[in-house]
């Protein structure tokens, strides 16, 4: 067990119950309006079969909370052969004889009910708390991934109750300029007293940083369009060797969900709707290679993940664009209440932000029980901050995300730093 389990009860059992029930309700809401045909998605390396994915969410929770934690027998005797992502290769998931839609939904509901009973039981301890929180946050991540799948396939936006999307307009416009972060020795990472943290955040350690200037907001759609219109995708001088190889291999000429209208103006697709670019919203669905090329074009650079974390200090979730409440990204100048202590806006929520850093273990890294969470992904690129469909209960400034540099399906953008003179 991780050494900080005695601190997990910073989340009361009643809250764990609420989170577990709400996470399952959100998973079900993300697929309930889709037809059986829409659940049968094409084989793409960036998505999962939706019927498999929601079954996997239930399996993961059952395995860690009920089987590994409480010693219960499997709910489904075939679950390991159907839903174990560690042993079932990605492409194989399309060939499995999965349970029917109704049987899969029953599995999600039965698992949820037994987990809620476990949380309420007299034998519930700190070990159970760890696995419950792990399973809730795992489900939160898959809920965001299902949202990406709906975007990838051009499905309508998720159909949540109107009261959950009662977010006021976020039309705060642009917000230019950099903020200066002084040189110093900073603590990076998480501490045992922080409660539940993922193994790749362990443990806090000192990092020396030079003074740097970081943009107050992410790069906007208008700013990125200037790069595209300046033939940025055709000019090799802006691309690294790996980026240029990706560009040529994929024959990319512009961001993935962009196209020209009959007048030559750019449109972009948000789920199933094509709209003109929102000039003050962040550039989104761009991969790390595209972010790196834009920086070369603009004479800027991506921040390291350590620089990003320091710039984001004190940026909280209370006023951030999270939890699907705005149904998409907001203008980069909105949500002024979310500013970090250094004056950086929207470092939490709105869009994930690429950093220059490879995702690597911290000096005191040690795997937690779910060994496939971090270790297989070391060497990918690090992202920070969360997006509009990230859960507020999970995200914070020291949370680390990680993806290959060619992924464009994420709601990911980037902010930049000035080059040192």
How far is CA 119 from each of CA 15, 22, 56, 66, rounded to the nearest angstrom? Answer: 10, 14, 21, 10
Last residue in a domain, options 159, 187, 217: 159
- pLDDT tens over the chain, length 421 residues: 343 443 455 899 999 999 999 999 999 999 999 999 999 999 999 999 999 999 999 999 999 999 999 999 999 999 999 999 999 999 999 999 999 999 999 999 999 999 999 999 998 998 899 999 999 999 999 999 999 999 999 999 998 764 444 455 677 778 889 999 999 999 999 998 888 999 999 999 999 999 999 999 999 999 999 999 999 999 999 999 999 999 999 999 999 999 999 999 999 999 999 999 999 999 999 999 999 999 999 999 999 999 999 999 988 888 899 999 899 999 999 988 889 999 999 999 999 999 999 999 999 999 999 999 999 999 999 999 999 999 999 999 999 999 999 999 999 999 999 998 6
Query: Is 177 found in the same domain as 155?
Result: no
pLDDT of residue 168: 59
pLDDT of residue 6: 39
Query: Is 69 found in the same domain as 53?
Result: yes
Query: Is 235 found in the same domain as 299?
Result: yes
pTM of the model: 0.95
Going 380 to 385 to 389 to 395, the CA torsion angle's sign is positive
Query: Is 271 found in the same domain as 345?
Result: yes
Query: What CATH number is associated with residue 47?
Result: 1.20.120.450
Query: Is 321 found in the same domain as 268?
Result: yes
Query: Is 182 found in the same domain as 154?
Result: no
Query: Is 283 found in the same domain as 254?
Result: yes
Domain count within the chain:
2
Q: Residue 268: enclosing H or E segment and its boundaries?
A: strand 266-270
Structural domain harbouring 122: 5-159
Query: Is 180 found in the same domain as 91?
Result: no
In 3D space, the residue among 290, 270, 274, 280 whose CA is nearest the CA of residue 407 turns out to be: 290
């Amino acid at each position: 067990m991780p050494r900080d389990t005695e601190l997990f009860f910073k989340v009361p059992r009643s809250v764990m119950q609420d989170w577990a029930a709400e996470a399952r309700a959100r998973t079900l809401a993300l697929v309930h309006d889709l037809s059986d045909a829409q659940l049968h998605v094409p084989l793409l390396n960036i998505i999962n079969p939706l019927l498999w994915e929601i079954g996997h969410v239930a399996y993961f929770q059952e395995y860690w909370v009920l089987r590994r934690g409480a010693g219960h027998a499997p709910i489904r005797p075939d679950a390991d052969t159907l839903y174990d992502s560690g042993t079932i290769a990605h492409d194989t998931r399309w060939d499995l004889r999965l349970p029917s839609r109704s049987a899969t939904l029953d599995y999600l509901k039965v698992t949820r009910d037994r987990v809620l009973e476990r949380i309420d039981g007299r034998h519930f301890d700190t070990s159970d708390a760890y696995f419950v929180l792990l399973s809730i946050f795992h489900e939160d991540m898959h809920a965001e991934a299902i949202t990406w799948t709906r975007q990838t396939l051009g499905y309508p936006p998720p159909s949540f109750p109107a009261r959950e999307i009662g977010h006021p307009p976020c039309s705060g416009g642009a917000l230019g300029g950099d903020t200066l972060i002084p040189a110093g020795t900073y603590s990076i990472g998480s501490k045992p007293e922080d409660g539940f943290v993922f193994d790749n955040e362990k443990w806090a350690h000192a990092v020396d940083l030079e003074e740097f200037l970081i943009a107050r907001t992410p790069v906007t759609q208008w700013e990125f369009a200037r790069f595209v219109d300046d033939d940025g995708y055709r000019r090799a001088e802006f691309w690294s060797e790996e980026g240029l190889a990706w560009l040529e291999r994929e024959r990319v000429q512009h961001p993935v969900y962009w196209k020209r209208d009959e007048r030559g103006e750019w449109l972009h697709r948000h789920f199933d709707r094509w709209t003109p670019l929102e000039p003050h919203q962040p550039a989104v669905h761009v991969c790390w290679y595209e972010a790196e090329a834009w920086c070369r074009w603009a004479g800027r650079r991506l921040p390291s993940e350590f620089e990003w974390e320091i710039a984001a200090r004190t940026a909280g979730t209370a006023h951030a664009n999270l939890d699907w409440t705005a149904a998409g990204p907001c203008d980069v100048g909105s949500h002024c209440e979310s500013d970090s202590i250094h004056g950086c806006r929207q470092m939490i929520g709105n869009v994930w932000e690429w950093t220059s850093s490879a995702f690597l273990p911290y000096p005191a890294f040690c795997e937690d029980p779910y060994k496939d969470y971090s270790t297989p992904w070391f060497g990918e690129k690090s992202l920070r901050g969360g997006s509009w469909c990230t859960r507020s209960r999970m995200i914070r400034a020291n949370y680390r995300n990680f993806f290959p540099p060619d992924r464009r399906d994420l709601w990911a953008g980037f902010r930049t730093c000035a080059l040192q003179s």
